[in-house]
Amino acid sequence: MCGIVGYIGFRDAYPVLIKGLHRLEYRGYDSAGCALVSRTSELNVYKAKGKVSDLERATQGKDITGSLGIAHTRWATHGAPSEVNAHPHISKSGNITLVHNGIIENYATLRVQLEKRGFVFKSQTDTEVLVQLIEFQKELRHCDLAEAVRRSLHLVIGAYAIAVIDKENPTQLVAARKASPLAIGIGEDYKEFFLASDASPIAEYTNQIVYLNDDEVAVVERGKNLHVMNLYGEDKEAEVKEVDVDLSMLDKGGFPHFMLKEIFDQPNVLRDCMRGRIINNVYSSESGQAHEPTLDVVLSAVKDHRRELLRARRIVIVSCGTSWHAGLIGKQLIEHFCQIPTEVAYASEFRYADPVVEQDDVVIAISQSGETADTLAAIQLAKEKGAFVYGIVNAVGSSIARNTDTGTYIHVGPEIGVASTKAFTGQVTVLTLFALALGMYKGTVDQQEYQDVLEELTNIPNKIQEVLKQNDKIQELSKKYTNSSNFLYLGRGFNYPVALEGALKLKEISYIHAEGYPAAEMKHGPIALIDKDMPVVFLTNHHRRYQKVISNLQEVISRHGQILAIIHEGDDQVKQMVETYIEVPQTLSCLAPLISVIPLQLLSYHIAVARGLNVDQPRNLAKSVTVE
Ligand code: G6P
């Protein structure tokens, strides 16, 4: 994980770096640091344990001048969070300094070899090995920094996005990437360059961005062009993309936390997600005559690749975390609308499971960040085995978006809160559109159901808005659970993955142990946990086998579980059975997750706030998991 930023140009680097680190803090926040080559050509390195704000405090009154610098916000892998383990790391001579996102897997071997040559290590990190190795190569080969970096990377096994500066050559910044993301922003007339783990720190300065590919080294010289080469020193073309990031999405917009803002963003961003993808057809394609308007899905990736997709005898969805929960819903949608057997795998398991993947298989990779290392590796494996890979991604231009054969962006805007909210509903929306579009081509969707689902999908943003109006009520209700230490979430069918997601949200931000379970499976174990002190969130809404769900609810009531039911409007039966419930608008069973997840997001948010926890930056977590 970790976030890196770099700047070289004509303005003061420090404010650019600090602002960039704040934008990347979602990637890790246990320590931070920066290195600046000052106006007097000194190399000043500052570090602090804790957040970027702690680094700002640490630099007060210090020399923060200079228009060349690199910075880092850390999510510890090797070595506990501490000032000494924080980046940037400095070489033996004190000339070269480096920031790194990723893991150097063979660092222990390299470290022993370097120690034998007199290098002394201060930290426990894998990164310090790399900066020393670069210095060693530079001395050994009497070469410049770029060449030393290139040579060193030949010796390294692992994943990295790095930015390196050399005090002896303050007109140059060298960067490289393998399996960890790195974007380079090009300022006007090449007078300045911005480096970062994603486009968010760059967006306010330029929309001209180059995403480095694996095994590429970039040399950025003040006032000169950007030079990209591979690890063998051969020139590579730097493909400049125009990337527009909505800057208003990068701040809290008056909400106390990003998570709450992103929960409230959902009606609008889901409208964006569907925009242009659900169209009103008033003309018959055959006769050209106007007819009663009908709705249609337009997903260009499905249309353009329907041959590969229709060939699929099986679909495998690979993803992690919340995206995996969306995948479980996707499976049900695809099997229902397309009649294609679908499996859902944790990317981290899939990649090492020696999975049977055949040429006609389609693999769908779901990822908010588009950078999750395990999902990327699963894609690679699927491609090697000949599968056609479809991406469902939020971050435009991200590694997963670029490494899949085709795909659909969810277009919900940057998600900053570590606990995923709007990305989940965006993923489920796109999966619904995907299943409907493919089902239509395959001829497995009932025409009336197709129309009904599409029409209802367009109503979902308003219905979510209705749920959001209950925010105060949910806040009040959440007080009851501030001191709970366990939770059960139960649901069936389309609501089972929502139960898992509700439990995950609670664990992530309130540190309360929670389990999601299929409601009927509960009697095979978890029912033993139920007593008057066990809160049970029960999703009873919109199930096709409603009476079966009610029987499961009855089983919990009989054991005096503390029930909070999520019910659909007008469900008098459950209202008479339980004291505590949240009513959500009616919808179709297959769209229920888009509605029922909203009160669960709000519930976990308010419980975490009441417990005084840092909702946007929960302990030990990171938003973008670029290590395996
Ligand atoms: C991390 C995040 C989760 C996310 C998961 C997968 O664990 O904290 O919110 O669901 O990674 O991330 P992706 O970006 O691939 O969806």
DSSP per position, 311-353? T-S-EEEEE-HHHHHHHHHHHHHHHHHH---EEEEEHHHHTTS
Output the pLDDT for position 397: 79
Q: Does the pLDDT of residue 285 top 60, yes or no? A: no
In a domain, residue 250? The reply is no
Same structural domain, 362 and 386: yes
- Do the beta carbons of residue 244 and residue 263 sit within 8 Å? no
Same structural domain, 432 and 509: no
Distance (Å) from CA 226 to ligand 1 centroid = 32
Domain boundary residue, one of 438, 462, 486: 462
pLDDT tens digits for range 108-161? 899 999 999 999 999 999 999 999 999 999 999 999 999 999 999 999 998 899
Same structural domain, 218 and 286: no
Residue, of 351 and 310, whose pLDDT is higher:
310
- Clarify whether 2 is annotated catalytic: yes
404 in ligand 1 pocket by Cβ < 6 Å? Answer: no
- Rounded Cα–Cα distance for residues 430 and 406 (Å): 14
In a domain, residue 494? The reply is yes
399 in ligand 1 pocket by Cβ < 6 Å? Answer: no
Describe the chain by its helix, strand, coil percentages, rounded to 5: 40, 25, 35
Q: Which domain holds residue 23?
A: 3-245
- Rounded Cα–Cα distance for residues 362 and 382 (Å): 9
623 in ligand 1 pocket by Cβ < 6 Å? Answer: yes
Point out the catalytic residue in the list 49, 51, 463, 623.
623
pLDDT tens digits for range 356-369? 888 889 999 999 99
In a domain, residue 621? The reply is no
In the predicted model, what is the mean pLDDT of residues 300-322? 96
Distance (Å) from CA 338 to ligand 1 centroid = 27
- Rounded Cα–Cα distance for residues 253 and 267 (Å): 15
Query: Is residue 454 helix, strand or coil?
Result: helix
Same structural domain, 220 and 334: no
Output the pLDDT for position 283: 58
Output the pLDDT for position 290: 63
Q: Does the pLDDT of residue 287 top 90, yes or no? A: no
In the predicted model, what is the mean pLDDT of residues 182-200? 94
Same structural domain, 441 and 522: no
Q: In sequence order, which residues have a C-beta less than 8 Å from that of residue 18 and are 6 or more positions away?
A: 34, 52, 55, 56, 71
Q: What percent of the chain has pLDDT over 70?
A: 98
Output the pLDDT for position 548: 82
Residue 220 dihedral angles phi and psi, to the nearest 5°: -110, 120
In a domain, residue 276? The reply is yes
- Rounded Cα–Cα distance for residues 539 and 493 (Å): 10
Same structural domain, 240 and 266: no
pLDDT, averaged across the chain:
92
**Which of 375, 393, 614, 623 is the pocket-test mutation for ligand 1 (most atoms within 8 Å of CB)?**
623
Q: Which two tokens stand for residue 591?
A: 């769209």
In a domain, residue 615? The reply is no
pLDDT tens digits for range 222-254? 888 899 999 999 999 999 989 888 777 777 777
Q: Which two tokens stand for residue 400?
A: 């997963």
Same structural domain, 398 and 300: yes
Structural domains in the chain (count): 3
323 in ligand 1 pocket by Cβ < 6 Å? Answer: yes
Same structural domain, 451 and 482: no
367 in ligand 1 pocket by Cβ < 6 Å? Answer: yes
625 in ligand 1 pocket by Cβ < 6 Å? Answer: yes
In a domain, residue 626? The reply is no
Query: Is residue 33 helix, strand or coil?
Result: strand
Ligand 1 atom showing the smallest separation from residue 321 Cα: 10
Residue 440 DSSP one-character state: H
Distance (Å) from CA 623 to ligand 1 centroid = 6
Output the pLDDT for position 52: 95
In the predicted model, what is the mean pLDDT of residues 408-429? 93
320 in ligand 1 pocket by Cβ < 6 Å? Answer: yes
Same structural domain, 349 and 484: no
Same structural domain, 292 and 235: no
Domain boundary residue, one of 223, 245, 267: 245
Same structural domain, 230 and 270: no
Q: Does the pLDDT of residue 29 top 90, yes or no? A: no
Same structural domain, 487 and 448: no
Distance (Å) from CA 180 to ligand 1 centroid = 15
In a domain, residue 454? The reply is yes
CATH number for position 221: 3.60.20.10
Closest residue by CA, ligand 1 atom 7: 321
Q: In sequence order, which residues have a C-beta less than 8 Å from that of residue 82 and are 6 or more positions away?
A: 31, 49
Q: Does the pLDDT of residue 21 top 80, yes or no? A: yes
In the predicted model, what is the mean pLDDT of residues 316-325? 97
> Predicted confidence band at 421 (pLDDT cuts at 50, 70, 90)?
very high
Domain boundary residue, one of 462, 492, 512: 462
In a domain, residue 100? The reply is yes
Q: Give, in order, the Cα–Cα distances in Å from 579 to each of 20, 472, 477, 562, 566.
A: 48, 18, 12, 9, 12
CATH number for position 567: 3.40.50.10490
Distance (Å) from CA 393 to ligand 1 centroid = 11
In the predicted model, what is the mean pLDDT of residues 605-612? 96
- Clarify whether 143 is annotated catalytic: no
- Rounded Cα–Cα distance for residues 56 and 259 (Å): 24
